């Protein structure tokens, strides 16, 4: 049975007081807190298991290698992938850069993204376009923040090489119709990359069902350590995606004339990886599995619905992306107040929210605003915390008016 109070006890940092008030952590879109099992896993790794992997014949190294490869299986299972399709990276940003740098584009290729992308899913493509006379095309959004998916077909041309789209908007929380995008892309034989940074923490993801070509996410938004991410790609890309990084641990033979690389994910993982981070990610997934992703989704939707209803009661509050098909993220502004001031006052009441452009400046330009206040929920948040936030917001608005 899902019990938020039991879950709360598993996250040591959430006992903390901030500015003399119990911490209400609503900045999960930026990064999530870590359960004790994940913290213990990292500590255990360095106390009992630390060795470099893949190269050693000694026992400790062989054991660490087994743990690392077991973690790859756990991650694969989590998104219903094959373990040979999971590449460990340093995060979503790194994963996207690896695809942008290694994709077999032709000069003058066109790449389609959306107006709500995180900068990490804009800049790597923009760089490629600048250097290769390519063109970035943008799927616009409606006034309510949803995608104008009907415009996608018109954006596609014979030069379209790739569509890269966020699964869930980190700023608006809107869940994009990625299944429909993949379907349209398939009709034109165009590969699709899905940025899953904000979807994997909130909903079940099945990469086989999604049927895109690439799916990327960060561990730290999934109750796991920072500095680790995942690049899933369909097997066929393992051979055709070019290497953007090369080095130790990726080869069969090296001479000064020529190098023969190994097959599979290791080819894309040069150098010593973030071993403890990968083990921490597997441990976080085990924790999520024990709680149940369906339970997490259901709980977070209750929070989303309740918080949205409460915020809609304020005449001074405007929510951006005030639609229904959303993950547990709400962006809003208080009329006449700068988001930084609202965020700073909320912090005085122990409520941690994110303020600013959320690395989505083009989206901010669309709405004609400098930024928003964003609350984003995780599995450990509660209705009681939303009540504390709403009371703090009431007081903050009074002070600002
Ligand atoms: C949708 C989305 N994409 C990409 C990123 C970048 O993730 P990271 O900084 O972990 O690489 C984020 C981070 O907020 C995000 O929300």
pLDDT band at 56 (very low <50, low <70, confident <90, very high): confident
Residue 137 to residues 17, 109, 291, 361, 393, Cα–Cα distance (Å): 46, 11, 40, 16, 39
Predicted confidence (pLDDT) per residue in 23-34, tens digit: 999 999 999 999
Mention every residue, 6+ apart, whose C-beta is less than 8 A from residue 379: 4, 7, 223, 288, 291, 296, 299, 300
pLDDT band at 365 (very low <50, low <70, confident <90, very high): very high
The model's pTM: 0.98
Predicted confidence (pLDDT) per residue in 87-104, tens digit: 999 999 999 999 999 999
Cα(20) to centroid(ligand 1), Å: 31
Burial class from Cβ neighbours inside 10 Å (0-12, 13-18, 19+) for residue 48 reads exposed
pLDDT band at 295 (very low <50, low <70, confident <90, very high): very high
What are the b/e assignments for 71-107, b being 16+ CB within 10 Å? bbebbbebbebebebbbbbbbbbbbbbbbbbbbebee
Helix (H, G, I), strand (E, B) or coil at 371: coil
% pLDDT > 70, the chain: 100
- Ligand 1 pocket mutation, candidates 97, 198, 222, criterion most atoms within 8 A of CB: 198
Predicted confidence (pLDDT) per residue in 368-393, tens digit: 999 999 999 999 999 999 999 999 99
* Domains of the chain with CATH codes: 4-27+292-400 (3.90.1150.10), 51-290 (3.40.640.10)
- Count, residues in the chain: 401
pLDDT score of 195 more than 90 = yes
Structure tokens at 362: 């083009």
Average pLDDT of span 279-292: 98
Average pLDDT, rounded, for the chain:
97
pLDDT score of 55 more than 90 = no
The pLDDT of residue 401: 87
The pLDDT of residue 68: 98
DSSP string, 201-248: TTS---HHHH--SEEEEEGGGGTS-SS-EEEEE-HHHHHHSPPS---T
Average pLDDT of span 391-397: 98
Give the whole-angstrom CA distance, residue 293 versus residue 208.
18
- Ligand 1 pocket mutation, candidates 329, 357, 359, criterion most atoms within 8 A of CB: 359
The pLDDT of residue 1: 85
Query: In ligand 1, which atom is closest to the CA atom of 226?
Result: 10
- Residue pair 214/161 in contact by the 8 Å Cβ criterion: no
Query: Does the CB atom of residue 91 touch ligand 1 within 6 A?
Result: yes
Give the whole-angstrom CA distance, residue 372 versus residue 380.
23
Cα(92) to centroid(ligand 1), Å: 6
Mention every residue, 6+ apart, whose C-beta is less than 8 A from residue 130: none
């Amino acid at each position: 049975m899902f019990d938020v109070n039991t879950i709360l006890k598993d996250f040591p940092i959430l006992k903390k007081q901030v500015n003399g008030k119990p911490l209400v952590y609503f900045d999960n879109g930026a990064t999530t807190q870590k359960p004790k099992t994940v913290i213990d896993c990292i500590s255990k790794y360095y106390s009992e298991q630390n060795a470099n992997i893949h190269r050693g014949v000694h026992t400790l190294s062989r054991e660490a290698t087994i743990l690392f490869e077991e973690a790859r299986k756990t991650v694969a299972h989590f998104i219903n992938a094959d373990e040979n399709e999971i590449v460990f990276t340093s995060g979503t940003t790194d994963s996207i850069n690896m695809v942008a740098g290694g994709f077999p584009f032709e000069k003058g290729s066109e790449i389609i993204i959306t107006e709500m992308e995180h900068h990490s899913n804009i800049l790597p493509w923009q760089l490629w376009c600048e250097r290769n006379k390519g063109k970035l095309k943008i799927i616009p959004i409606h006034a309510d923040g949803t995608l104008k998916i009907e415009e996608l077909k018109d954006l596609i041309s014979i030069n379209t090489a790739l569509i890269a789209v966020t699964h869930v908007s980190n700023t608006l929380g809107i869940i994009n119709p990625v299944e429909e995008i993949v379907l349209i892309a398939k009709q034109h034989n165009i590969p699709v990359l899905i940025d899953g940074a904000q979807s994997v923490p909130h909903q079940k993801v099945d990469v086989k069902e999604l049927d895109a070509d690439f799916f990327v996410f960060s561990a730290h938004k999934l109750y796991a350590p920072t500095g680790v991410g995942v690049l899933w790609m369909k097997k066929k890309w393992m051979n055709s995606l070019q290497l953007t990084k090369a080095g130790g641990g990726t080869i069969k033979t090296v001479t000064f004339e020529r190098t023969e690389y190994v097959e599979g994910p290791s080819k894309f993982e040069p150098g010593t990886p973030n071993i403890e981070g990968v083990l921490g990610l597997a441990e976080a997934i085990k924790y999520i599995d024990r709680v149940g992703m369906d339970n997490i989704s259901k709980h977070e939707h209750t929070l989303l619905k309740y918080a949205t209803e409460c915020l809609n009661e304020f005449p001074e509050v405007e929510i951006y992306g005030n639609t229904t098909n959303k993950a547990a993220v709400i962006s809003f502004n208080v009329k006449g107040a700068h988001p930084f001031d609202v965020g700073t006052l909320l912090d005085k009441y122990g409520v941690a929210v994110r303020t600013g452009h959320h690395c989505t400046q083009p989206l901010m330009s669309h709405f004609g605003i400098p930024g928003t206040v964003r609350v984003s929920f995780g599995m450990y948040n509660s209705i009681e915390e939303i009540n504390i936030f709403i009371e703090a917001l009431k007081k903050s608005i009074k002070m600002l008016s």
